[in-house]
Structure 1
Amino acid sequence: MNSSRKVYGLAMLLSVCSFLYELSIAKIFSDLLGNFILWQSVTIAVYIGGLSFGAFLSDTKRFAHSRVRFLKVELMLSILGPLVPLFLLAGHIIYRIYFNDAMIDVLETSDFLTIQQVKESRWLPWVTYVLLGQGLTLAIGTLSGFEIPYLIQSLKGKGNHSLMVLGFNYFGSLLASLAFSFWLLPQVSAVYTCLFAGVLNLICAVFIAEEKSRKWVAFPSFCLIVCAFLYQPTYKANRHVFYYYFYKYLPEQVSMSELPRFLSFLPPIEERQTLYQKLEFASLPLQDEPHTNGLFIDGHFQFDSSSERSYHEAMSRLPHLIALMKPKAPLILGGGDGLLARDLIKELDQSTIIEHVELDEGMYEFSRNSEQMIGLNEGSLSSDRIHTSFVDAFSFIKNSSKYYDGIYIDFPYPYSYDVLKLYSVEFYRMLFKRMSKESFAVLDIPLVNSSSPHSGANGFQHNSIIMSTLHEVGFSHLIPYAVGDESFIFAYKGERSLRQLDPTMGTELAHISMEVWSQTLDAEFSFEIDSQYVNSIFKPTLLSFRDDFF
C-alpha cells in the first residue's frame, strides 16, 4: 500500500465495518434484553475498551506490524463479526427457554418461591450469556484496535500522515452511524448489517492481501455463506421462542431434543422497522384456540387479538360509565394501532371529532394499510372523524392551546428513559392544564395488584410512584382498576360525583365477562401518597423500582 490515498480510503472503510459491528451488537442486545440506553452504553464502552487494548498490543514486539498480520486481523474480523449475531440469538433461545421462563413457570406454581429467589436462580446463566456476548464485542474492538496503528505505520517515512488517517477513520464512523440509522437498520436489520460489514471487511482483506496470501480468503468466504443461510431461521426461531414462552402460549415446555422439530413449524412473522421502533405481527397458537394474532413493539407485548376487545373497552366505555358522561372534545395520545380509535368511534356521538396524536408515522401507516391490522381496527384510522397529528405527545401538549374533556393515554410501558418523560410529573402538569373544568383522563399504566406474585416492597413502591406523581398534579379523583392482566387509572378533574365500580356496571360492558368483572372488583392496589415518590424528568424514580417482570 504505497499510496497514501489508498491508506486513507482503507482507514475509512475499516472504520465503517468496525462501527457497524458495534452498533448492530448493541441493537441486538437491547432487542433481546431490553433497555436500549443501558446496552448501547455498555456495548460502546466494551468496544472502545477493546480498541484501546488492541492499540496497546499493537505497540508490543509480539504483535509487530506486518502486512501478513494485518491481513489475518481483517480475516478474523470478517469471520467473527457476522458470527456474533448467531451466538446472541441462539444463546438467547437456550437462556429464555431453559433458565428464564422455566423459572417463572416454577414461581407461578409454587407456594414457597419468591421473586427474589427466582432472580437469584437465573443470575448465573444471565451473567454468563452477557459476559460471553460482550466478550465477543471486546474481541471485535481489540482486533479493530490494531488497524489504525498499522495504517499509520505503513506510511512511516512518507511524511506525517497520522492526522489524516485518524480523520478518515472518524469520518468512516460518521458514515457508519448515518447508514445504520437511516438505511441499514430500517431496510436490512441489525442482524444482516453484521453480514454486510463482514462482506465489506472481506473485500478490504482481499485488497490488502498479496497474491500468495489470497487463498486465505476461502475460509472466511465460506463462513459468510453459512451465516447468510443460518441468519433467517435462527432469528425467526429466537423471536418465536421469546413470544411463546414469555407470554405462555404453549401448554408445556419443549425438550432440547424436540426443539429443532418445534422450531421448523413456526409461522412467519410480519416485521417492520420504523424510525422509532420495531413492529412484529405474529400468529401465535393458543392452548384452547387455533391461533391468535399478536403485536409486539421492540420485543414487548402490545396486544393479542383474543383479548384486545376487553382491554380497549376498559379504556373506552368503562371511563364513560365512571364519569357519567361522554366527552365532546376527546383526545387520544398514542394508540397508533387504531384499536382504541375503533371503539371510540362507536362509543361517542357521530358528530364528535376525535383528535389523535401519534409519534410514529410508520406505526400509523402499518396499522392503516396492513390487511391483518385493518381486520382488527376496522379501518378506524381512515375515518374522517379521526384527525391524526404526527408529533411527540410531550411537545403536542406543551404547545397546544385547546381544552379537552376526555383524554385517553395509551403509551408504551416505561421500559426505558426514552418513554420516561411521558410518565413524569412535568408531563402530567401540562396535561392537567389542557383539561377542561369537568374532564377525565384514562391511562393504561402498569400497576401491581396486591394478589400478584410480583407484589411486595417493589410493587408497593412502584404503585406509590405512579399514584403520587398523578396526585401531585391536582386530580380530584384517582381510581385504579384492573381488567384481566391489564391495569388502568381513571383520573378526574372537577367536583362532580362519580359512579363507583359496582357489580351492576359489569352488565353494561360487552366484552368484559362477569367473571373478569368480579376479579376487577376484587383487585386491590397497595400504595401511599408521598412527595418522595414523585417521578420527575429531573429526578426519575420510576425506573429505579421497575420490576423485571413488567
Structure 2
Amino acid sequence: MNTRNFIKLEILLITSILAFCSIVYELLLSNTLAIVTGNYIWWQSLTIGVYIGGLGIGAYYSNRLKNTYKSLINIELGLSFLGAICVVYVYIFHGTYKYIDNLFFYTGDFYSSFYLQNMFLLKIVFFIGIQGLTLLIGLLSGFEIPLMMRIAEERLGHSEEGEHQVLGINYLGTLVGTICFAYFLLPKLDVIKTSVVVALLNLLVGIYCLVKFAKSKRRVYAGFIAAVFVMISLIGINEQSITQRYLKFFYYLPKILSQNNTDLDDLIRRVDSFKPIERSKSLYQYVDIFTYPTTEDNKVVDSTILTLDTNFQFNTSTEFYYHQAFAHVSIIMNKKVPKKILLLGGGDGLLLRELLKYKEIESIKHIELDQKMIDLAKTRFAELNKHSLDDPRVHSEINDGFYYVRNTSDRYDAIFIDFPYPNSYDLARLYSLEFYTYVRRALNPDGFVVLDAPFYNKEDYTKNKYQGRAVLTQVFNERHVISNSVVASTFYYAGFKSFFPYRVSDESFLFLKVEPGAIDYNFMDSADLSKLEPQTIREMKEIKNQEFPYTVALKYVNSIFKPMVVKKNEF
C-alpha cells in the first residue's frame, strides 16, 4: 500500500470511528431519557432533533476553527468527557428533578397557582439542562466532519472525490453505530458501560491525533488525557453503585418523602439502607425487582415489586386484586366458563393462576414476547403463580401478540389481553383498530375479550382521594373523556358492539363482545365468589356504581396509521 492510499485509509477510518461514537452518544441520551421518564416518543424525537441541530450549528461555524489538528484533539477530549458522563448526568439531573417535584408534592401547597408555576419552571429547567448536553455533543460532533475534510485536503490535496468519501464513510459509521447499539452495546453492556467503552474509543482517537499530528503542548494534552481517562475509569468501576443509587432514589423517594423525611442527608441514608434493586436486561426491556415496605393488618412487611422499563407491573401484596378482577369478573359477566382461551401477555403467570381455578377450561394458548418473563415465572415467581406455566392445559409460545392474532387460524371462546399501557408507538399498535380487528377474527361468535386499559371513571376523580397535585388535575375533565373515547371508539369500529368498562382497586378493565346486548350490572348478586379474596369481593361490589363517560366517534379511532393512544407524561 503506497503512502497516499494509507493516508486516505487513515482519514476514512478515523471519520467512521468519530461518526460511530457520535451517534451512540445520541442514542444513549435518547434511550436513557425515554426509560427514566416513561415517554419514548417525546424524548427520542426531541433528543435526535436537538442533536441534529447541534450538528448543523457545528458544521456551520467549523470554519472558525483555525488550527485543524489542535481543534480535532480538543474536540475528541471534549466528546470523551461528555460521552462518559452523559448517562450519569441524566441520572443526576432527573433524580434532582424528581426530588424537587416530590418535595413539593408531599410538603407544599398543592392547590396554589404558585405550585403550578413552579412545576412548569422546573420542567423548563430540566428540559434545558438535559437537552443542553445533547446540543453540546451535537455541536462538537458537527465540527468533526468539516475538520476531517480539511485534513484530507491538506494531506491529499483538493479532491471532490475525497470530500464525498469522507461524507459517505461518515454515514456508514453512523449506520454501524446504530446497529451495534441496538444489537450489542445496549443488550450486552447496558448504558453506563456503553458510554465508558465509546468514550474510551473517542479518547483513543484523540491520543492517536496527538501522537501523529501535535507539534507542541504535548505534555499539557497528556495531562488532560490522563484526567479524562481517570474519570472514565472511575465511572466504569462504579457503574453498579451509580445505577443502584439512582434506581433506589427513583423507586423509594416517594415512600420516604411521604413520611415527611425531607432532610437531604437523612434521605440519602434512608435510600442507601434499602436492599439492592435486581435489574436485568432482556432484548426488549429492563426488568427491575425490588422489595418495598407495605402495611398489612397494621404491620409493615416487605412486598416484592416488579417493573418493566420502570413501569409498575405488580406488587406481591396487592396483585390478587388485579388478577382476580381480570380473570373472574369477565367470566362471571359472561355467565359461562370458556373452554378454549387465548392469553396475550401475562408472562408472570399470575393471570394464568386465576384462570386455572376453573376446571371447565380445557386449554390456554399463552403468547408472551419476552423469554425473560417466562424464565422468571418458572423460577422466581413460581410459588406465587402456583407453577401455572407447568400446567398441562397451558401451551406457552414466545411470539409477538400482534403477529400471532394476525396470522392464526384458531378460534377461541375467550381472549385475555394483558399488555402494558400504550406509552409508545410500538405499544399503541396493541390498542389499535387493526389489532382488535384481528382479535375479533380470532374470537368465536359468542366469545368475549377482556383487557386492562387506561380508562377513567368519573367518581374516582371527584373523590379527591389522592394526596398531592393541584385539584384541577384530579377533577374528571374533558381530557379523561377524550382518552376514554379513543379506547371505546377503537373497539367499536373494530367490531365489538358490547362494551363494559369496570374498575377494581386502582385498575381499569374492559369486557368486550361482538354481539350487541345489555350487561347485567347486578351480576355480583348471584355470582359464585368462592374463588375470590374478601378484599376483591368488597372492591367488586362497587362496579355497579361506576360511571365511565365517553363518546363513540370515528375521529377518536386509534389506528396504526393515525396513532391516538400515547402517554402524556413527558417527565
TM over 0.5, yes or no?
yes
1:105, CA displacement in angstroms?
Answer: 4.4
Partner residue, 2:468? none
Contact 2:340/2:363 (<8 A) preserved = yes
Q: In the alignment, does 2:373 pair up with 1:363?
A: yes
Partner residue, 1:309? 320
Q: 1:502 aligned to 524, 544, 561, which one? A: 524
Partner residue, 1:423? 431
Taking the aligned partners of 2:30 and 2:355, their CA distance within structure 1 comes to 40
Partner residue, 2:533? 511
Alignment of 1:13-412 (within 5 A): 13-60=17-64, 63-99=65-101, 101-105=102-106, 112=111, 120-157=117-154, 158-159=156-157, 160=159, 161-210=162-211, 212=219, 213-245=221-253, 251-287=259-295, 288-349=299-360, 352-368=362-378, 371-412=379-420
Partner residue, 1:531? 554
Taking the aligned partners of 1:532 and 1:248, their CA distance within structure 2 comes to 44
Alignment of 1:474-485 (within 5 A): 474-485=495-506
Contact 2:449/2:512 (<8 A) preserved = yes
1:499, CA displacement in angstroms?
Answer: 4.7
**3 and 549 in structure 1: CA distance in 2 versus 1, 3 angstrom threshold:** closer
Partner residue, 1:469? 490
Q: C-alpha offsets along residues 452-479 of structure 1, whole Å, 9 cap, x if unaligned?
A: 2252111122112212222333434322
Letter in 2 for 1:24: L
Taking the aligned partners of 1:527 and 1:247, their CA distance within structure 2 comes to 34
Letter in 2 for 1:201: N
Taking the aligned partners of 2:524 and 2:301, their CA distance within structure 1 comes to 35
**181 and 474 in structure 1: CA distance in 2 versus 1, 3 angstrom threshold:** closer
Contact 1:407/1:441 (<8 A) preserved = yes
**274 and 207 in structure 1: CA distance in 2 versus 1, 3 angstrom threshold:** same
1:506, CA displacement in angstroms?
Answer: 8.3
1:547, CA displacement in angstroms?
Answer: 5.1
**443 and 17 in structure 1: CA distance in 2 versus 1, 3 angstrom threshold:** same
Taking the aligned partners of 1:247 and 1:419, their CA distance within structure 2 comes to 29
1:104, CA displacement in angstroms?
Answer: 4.5
Contact 2:192/2:236 (<8 A) preserved = no
Letter in 1 for 2:371: E
1:247, CA displacement in angstroms?
Answer: 7.7
**512 and 428 in structure 1: CA distance in 2 versus 1, 3 angstrom threshold:** farther
Letter in 2 for 1:143: L
Taking the aligned partners of 1:386 and 1:233, their CA distance within structure 2 comes to 40
Taking the aligned partners of 1:232 and 1:11, their CA distance within structure 2 comes to 32
1:305, CA displacement in angstroms?
Answer: 0.7
Contact 2:349/2:377 (<8 A) preserved = yes
Letter in 2 for 1:45: G
Contact 1:70/1:150 (<8 A) preserved = yes
**484 and 248 in structure 1: CA distance in 2 versus 1, 3 angstrom threshold:** farther
**348 and 178 in structure 1: CA distance in 2 versus 1, 3 angstrom threshold:** farther
**6 and 140 in structure 1: CA distance in 2 versus 1, 3 angstrom threshold:** same
Letter in 2 for 1:130: F
1:448, CA displacement in angstroms?
Answer: 1.2
Q: Aligned with 2:294: secondary structure? A: coil
Contact 2:490/2:557 (<8 A) preserved = yes
Letter in 2 for 1:516: E
* Amino-acid identity (%): 31
Taking the aligned partners of 1:449 and 1:498, their CA distance within structure 2 comes to 17
Letter in 1 for 2:532: A
1:497, CA displacement in angstroms?
Answer: 7.5
Greater Cα shift, 443-452 or 158-167: 158-167
1:508, CA displacement in angstroms?
Answer: 3.8
Letter in 1 for 2:129: L
Letter in 2 for 1:124: L
Matched residue count: 538
Q: 1:491 aligned to 483, 505, 512, which one? A: 512
Contact 1:12/1:172 (<8 A) preserved = yes
1:379, CA displacement in angstroms?
Answer: 2.7
Q: Aligned with 1:286: secondary structure? A: strand
Taking the aligned partners of 1:434 and 1:289, their CA distance within structure 2 comes to 46
**436 and 416 in structure 1: CA distance in 2 versus 1, 3 angstrom threshold:** same
Letter in 1 for 2:423: Y
**8 and 409 in structure 1: CA distance in 2 versus 1, 3 angstrom threshold:** same
1:27, CA displacement in angstroms?
Answer: 0.5
Unaligned segments of structure 1, at least 5 residues: none
RMSD, aligned α-carbons: 2.7
Unaligned segments of structure 2, at least 5 residues: 212-217, 462-473
Taking the aligned partners of 1:448 and 1:106, their CA distance within structure 2 comes to 27
**406 and 348 in structure 1: CA distance in 2 versus 1, 3 angstrom threshold:** farther
Contact 2:261/2:267 (<8 A) preserved = no
Taking the aligned partners of 1:498 and 1:461, their CA distance within structure 2 comes to 23
Q: C-alpha offsets along residues 481-512 of structure 1, whole Å, 9 cap, x if unaligned?
A: 11100010111234788653435648445225
Q: Aligned with 2:123: secondary structure? A: helix
Q: Aligned with 1:218: secondary structure? A: helix
Contact 1:93/1:242 (<8 A) preserved = yes
Taking the aligned partners of 1:117 and 1:506, their CA distance within structure 2 comes to 52
**473 and 39 in structure 1: CA distance in 2 versus 1, 3 angstrom threshold:** same
Letter in 1 for 2:235: C
**511 and 251 in structure 1: CA distance in 2 versus 1, 3 angstrom threshold:** farther
Contact 2:148/2:166 (<8 A) preserved = yes
**496 and 122 in structure 1: CA distance in 2 versus 1, 3 angstrom threshold:** closer
Taking the aligned partners of 2:107 and 2:480, their CA distance within structure 1 comes to 20
Q: C-alpha offsets along residues 164-192 of structure 1, whole Å, 9 cap, x if unaligned?
A: 22233222212211111111111111222
**504 and 54 in structure 1: CA distance in 2 versus 1, 3 angstrom threshold:** same
1:64, CA displacement in angstroms?
Answer: 0.8
**462 and 119 in structure 1: CA distance in 2 versus 1, 3 angstrom threshold:** farther
